[in-house]
Structure 1
Amino acid sequence: MLTVEHFLQLAPFKKFQLVAGANGLDNKITGINILDNPDASDWLSAGELLITSGYFFSENTEIQKQFIQRFKEINCSAICIKPHIYLKGIPKSMRDLADELALPIIEIPYGVAFSKIMNIVMAEISGRMDERNQASLDIHSQFFEISLHGGGMKKIAAELANMVQNPVVLVDTDWSVTAVSDHKQPLIQETIKTIEHTFTFPLQTFNDLPTNFERIQKPITRSLFFADKEYPCVIMPVYFDTIHYGFILVYQIERPLTDLDYVALENGSMAFALEQMRLFEIERTENRIRRDFFDQLLSGQIKDLDTLAAYDTAIDPLLNYTVLILSIQTFGIQTDSLMKKKQAEDRLMKSLLSSLTSYTANRFPHLHLFSRKNQLVMLLGTDPNSSTLKTHNELSDTAERIRMYLEQQGPSEREIFCTIGSTLPILELSQSFEEAKKVIQLLEDDSKEEKIYFFNDFYFDSFLVDSISKDQGQKFYTHYLNTLLTYDKENKTSFTPTLKAYLAHHLNIATTSRALFIHRNTLLYRIEKIKGLLPVELDQEKNTFALQLALKLYDLYH
């Protein structure tokens, strides 16, 4: 293995001068890189020999110290600097810090080309690759065995921690913890937070992560602070085939990572992705089985309790059940690719289904759920002996608690509303399902100011839609309201909503004016104008019903 000391002994480099970090001469050189862009430090790897003109160091002492510290955290082998171009010399503050960190700083004589250094070092390294390749194969085999036998996330975390000799934390795309190598480690206990029953790594711990850094597909290093000490933390994005699975965090508490540790990290990330795929497939299969059963139940194909019992589900046939549909529309997913948007939406729905399953398990023992596209369908069992009011309140409370919980999950902006069918015996549940879906159709163009909608409140609307075609409905409301609607449009008046309020308050001037927040005389003036625009007498009972129906059809079909 090529070390810094061996590098300085090579004939072409005998005039290179070690100016600091003599205690790091045993550092192993596994690669070489030119660095003259401060933003490129996230692309460096452990064991690399860095060559730089010191351009981005400038003469700023704090920046110089910051980068020397960062290079040590990454575990670079040494820094070769060509001064007298941008740096007048290698500052004492840099040399002192390099001595403290045992990070060699080597001064390149003026006139030596960077390319010459790179060619010689690469030739030396290539002759020492067999040992590293064998070690890489051994690491790959160990993780392959874990993946092959379904060792799970805990086994991956434990094995990786053993290889890199540092604590390891695995998190998913939402930074929820999936596995930890050592729960008793104080720094892990300090950084991981508990929300509900979920362990989460707070992303705000790192305030300078690159944009979309999960796509970098290589580890970056950031600092964690604990008990007045700073610890480097390596963050490895797990990202394969355009799909992001999560992150691996390595807390460098025991020792800096070597180049072989990074090989282990890459193989560990592959095992992480394979395990996530396996878990996703299991979850997808279980959800499909659940969905197939519920599809048969909700389509009315299960017609007797004996058939229902054959499915061995947790459904209690002695309870009444109600279908609740949570419709979820996302706004925070920004991408030009329809495929990527679909993948993001699928991952969101899987995440919501998983977290909601955990949330409802103990809180709502008679609730069953599955997902369909952008909807979560729930069946809630209630006591058939409960009063209608008690059942209604229970449904409303459950729907609101679940809706509020889902709104708090994840960073994406979303709109969630719930539609609720009738409460019926289990074998009649197809009717409740159709009713909940019907409300979604009726709300299609609605602003959805409310978040919970019961079918009972839409029964009349549903009857009209099912019984009167759109053409017939438009003809009906046009006959009664066309003159009034046209007048409102041309004169920017609000006579149509005034008529609607007047009819809703049973032609009562006092209650209507209070509802509209207008003076009694203003309302009387409007009513006289409305009477002159309508084709029928407003005060006749049959006409008031016809006008109310016309207004309802206008709302439905306009």
Structure 2
Amino acid sequence: MDPVVSAEIIGFIQRGLRSEEHDITTSDTPARPRSTARTIARRGSSGSGPARTDGRTGVSTVGEMLRGITVREALSLPVLDGFEVVAGAAGLDRMIRFVNIMEVPDVLPWTRADELLLTTGYPLRSDPGAMTTLVAALHERGLAAFAVKPGRYLQELPPAMIAEADRLGFPLLLVPDGVGFDVILNQVLSEVLGRQASALSRAAAAHQALLEIVLHGGGLPEVLQALPDQLGDAADGVGVIHVDRSGRVTAAAGAELPPAADVLFDDDAQFRTAGYPHGSHTLTGGVRALVASVVAAEDHGDLIAIRTAGEWDGQDVITLERAATVAALVVARELAVAAVETKYRGDFLRDVLSGRESETAARSGAEGFGWDLTGPLVVVVAGAANEDDQHRRRRAAQLAAAWTSRVRRMDPAAASATFAMEAVAVLHAPDGTVPDVERMAELRTGLAVPGLPFDGVLGVSRVVAGVAGLATAYAQAWEAVRVGRRLAGPGSVARFDDLGLYRLLSLVPDSAELRSFLVDTLGPLAHPEGDVENDELRRTLQVLLDTNLNVAQTARRLHFHYNTLRYRIGKLERLIGPFTDDARLRADLTVALHVWQMRVAHN
């Protein structure tokens, strides 16, 4: 790997580790890594919040998922050995991550979730009944437990307080004599911080392993392959996938996703980014998903970890978020390399299509890109619509992302490249025939992405024998794009062989003389679509000319009664002249209808 790239990766990750550790150990509300926060702001969603109605819960920060110790585990510490659980035993599995001492009656604003609150009862010595109300308030704020040291200021706990704690499942503890609050603070916080430091250390080791993979040339599949073992045991059924910014899966490792994970994807197999933002989510059947945004200079999608057994803890969150940092840099590196390769491919193919490369040089260079330019060949051009700069940039990215994979799926040895506003492919035509419209429509469909349908035109050339004919074929494909855009509009497929008279008409400028010819020849039928009677008459005229004035065949094709068609023919001759008897007028009408189709119908 390039040493500059290696140094950049190491520096970026180390800065992230330092800032992450600082946030977790010193901040009241741990901050999300800045890149993740930027992603969530961009997507307009939040990774935290109350439980949702569909059963999913979001967990947004590393600090929120860093395990402390449960009340039950705390009671096993030597300093808490003599503590008595007088009420709320159902809540002994609540998590303790902080310890605080109640010194004032209005302590609530200074409390937080997952906190063990200690008191002597002094602040409420004159109003023991307020203790009952306080228990409910502490439970509402998510505290872990309330420990009271009776004696000097509070002789015994009010029965109503004990009953309320039992009802809420909120642990109410009695602190024995001889145990100082400072010792309790020291030992409980030491245990909490020790566990958190251990989790950070293990996550850092896992992160270093991922870094080693990258420094030895590994890509996104290799990074994902290492994650399931870091996130759980074999029995946990951990699987990890990466989805790109469009929500499509690009890599996967570990266990197969369970059926419960189907809810993460829409009907087009794209990840529901807005519904499952950065954080932890509980799915049906106890399946749990963990989502981490993959962001470097721009959004590169998400890492999604799924487990069928057990729960995610703080170490898992840190591991996946740091893996997302590594993945972002890997994707950015791969995109940079791909951009250079794409430029070389594009420059080379442009030279071939412009005739600047000899046949020998063209074939030799094509082999280096895995292409085969042995004929017969056909050139396909996807020409995007004329758009402003912002849409042009999005369209270029769209073409680059979708074109090559679609072309390779259709013809593995085909040459392909994307330019600013076009994508080109040189496909093989082994039977010497131009690919049918249906096959080309499949290629066009692959250029659409959510929120950005492909509204350009796919142009297809005639079949040429080999490299020597590619310049001509390229010009034919572009002519098909230009004519198809006027003739059939956005999203169409136009084959050069099917253009016929339209090829000649495309060379005629849209002048006043051309407009005059239309009006003189078609009369009121020269107006754009919208008038029902004129539209029906124009269609009748077109079918009559297509069937060489065969009235019976025209009536069947239009589902008209024979006499109805005779009436329409009479009306047409009153409007545009005796075309049934005048061959030259019929020729003019044929040309005029072609001009109307190109210049009026879709404008």
User: Which category of TM-score, normalised to the shorter sequence, fits these structures?
Assistant: 0.5 to 0.7
Please give the residue correspondences for 1:183-222 in structure 2 after superposition, counting only pairs within 5 Å. 185=255, 188=256, 203=265, 212-213=274-275, 216=277, 218-222=278-282
- In the aligned structure 2, how far is the partner of 1:463 from the partner of 1:284? 39
Matched, 1:518 2:583: no
Is residue 179 from structure 1 mapped to residue 252 from structure 2 by the alignment? yes
Q: Separation in 1 of the partners of 2:576 and 2:250?
A: 66
Q: Distance in 2 between matches of 1:170 and 1:490?
A: 56
Cα distance between partner residues in 1 of 2:498 and 2:413 = 25
Whichever structure has more strand as a proportion of its residues is 1
How far apart in 1 are the matches of 2:273 and 2:221?
Answer: 29
Residue 148 of structure 1: aligned partner: 215
Instruction: Work out which of the residue numbers 1, 9, 29 in structure 1 matches 2:97.
Output: 29
Q: What is the CA distance between 1:422 and its match in structure 2?
A: 0.8
Per-residue CA deviations over 1:9-68 (Å, capped at 9, x if unaligned) read 999xx899662368758x673899xxxxxxxxxxxxxxx72799xxxxxxxxxxxxxxxx
Residues 223 and 90 (structure 1 numbering): CA distance in 2 closer, same or farther, change over 3 Å? Answer: farther
* In the alignment, structure 1 residue 272 sits paired with structure 2 residue 359: no
Q: Deviation per CA, 1:209-235, whole angstroms, max 9, x where unpaired?
A: 986146x4x32122364xxxx343323
User: Aligned-pair distance for 1:321?
Assistant: 0.9
Q: Answer yes or no: is the 8 Å Cα contact 1:501–1:512 preserved in 2.
A: yes
The structure number with the bigger radius of gyration is 2
Alpha-carbon deviation of 1:419? 2.8
* Secondary structure in 2 matching 1:311: helix
- Residues in 2 aligned to 1:152 and 1:256: alpha-carbon distance in whole angstroms: 28
1:458-487 CA-partner distances (Å, limit 9, x unpaired): 131011111454443222212212344469
- The answer for the alignment partner of 2:353 in structure 1 is 298
Q: CA deviation at 1:311?
A: 1.5
Q: Is the 8 A contact 1:30 1:259 kept in 2?
A: no
| Cα distance in structure 2, aligned partners of 1:338 and 1:19 | 64
- Displacement of 1:156: 2.0
- TM-score scaled to structure 1, two decimals? 0.65
For 2:428 and 2:272, how far apart are their aligned partners in 1? Answer: 48
Structure 2 counterpart of 1:222, one-letter code: T
Alpha-carbon contact 2:384-2:395 (below 8 Å) kept: no
- Give the secondary structure class of the aligned counterpart of 1:422: coil
2:389 aligned with 1:320, yes or no? no
2:425 aligns with one of 378, 387, 404 = 378
- C-alpha RMSD of matched pairs (Å): 4.9
Give the deviation of 1:326 after TM superposition: 4.5
Closer, same or farther: CA 211–179 of 1 in aligned 2, 3 Å: closer
Unaligned runs of 5+ residues in structure 2 are 1-66, 101-112, 118-141, 148-158, 175-184
Specify whether residues 526 and 179 from structure 1 end up closer, same or farther in structure 2 by C-alpha distance, changes over 3 A only.
closer
Query: Residues of 2 paired with 1:204 and 1:491: CA distance?
Result: 42
Give the alignment's TM-score, normalised by structure 2: 0.61
After superposition, the Cα gap between the structure-2 partners of 1:491 and 1:441, relative to the gap in structure 1 and judged at 3 Å, is: closer
The reply on whether 1:368 has 2:415 as its aligned counterpart is: yes
Identity value in percent: 15
Displacement of 1:140 in angstroms is 4.8
The letter for the 1-side match of 2:219 is G
Query: 2:598 — aligned with what?
Result: 556
Q: Give the structure 2 partner of residue 106 of structure 1.
A: 171
Equivalent residue for 2:291, pick from 221, 224, 235: 235
Distance in 1, Cα, partners of 2:487 & 2:338:
34
Task: Find the aligned partners of 1:140 and 1:317 in 2 and give their Cα distance.
Answer: 46
One-letter identity of the residue aligned with 1:146? I
Aligned-partner SS, 1:246: strand
- Alpha-carbon spacing, 1:375–1:488, altered in 2? closer, same or farther (3 Å): closer
Kept in 1: contact 2:265–2:272 (CA 8 A)? no
Mapped partners of 1:210, 1:380: distance in 2 = 36
Q: Which amino acid counterpart does residue 378 of structure 1 have in structure 2?
A: A
Aligned pair count reads 454
The residue type equivalent to 1:371 in the other structure is T
Cα distance change on mapping 1:265 and 1:80 into 2, 3 Å: farther
Q: Residues 257 and 357 of structure 1: is their aligned pair in 2 closer, same or farther, counting only changes over 3 Å?
A: same
Secondary structure in structure 1 of the residue aligned to 2:88: strand
Q: Which residue of 2 aligns with 1:116?
A: none
| 1:424-465 Cα distance to aligned partner (Å, 9 max, x none) | 132221222222222222232555699643211113101111
Equivalent residue, structure 2, for 1:472:
513
CA contact (8 A) 2:96 2:114 kept: no
SS in 1 for 2:380: strand
Specify whether residues 466 and 346 from structure 1 end up closer, same or farther in structure 2 by C-alpha distance, changes over 3 A only.
closer
Separation (CA, whole Å) in 1 of partners of 2:563 and 2:590 = 23
Matched-pair contact (CA < 8 Å) for 2:97–2:192: no
Paired residues of 2:382 and 2:422 also in contact (CA < 8 A)? yes
Q: Residue in 1 aligned with 2:88?
A: 19
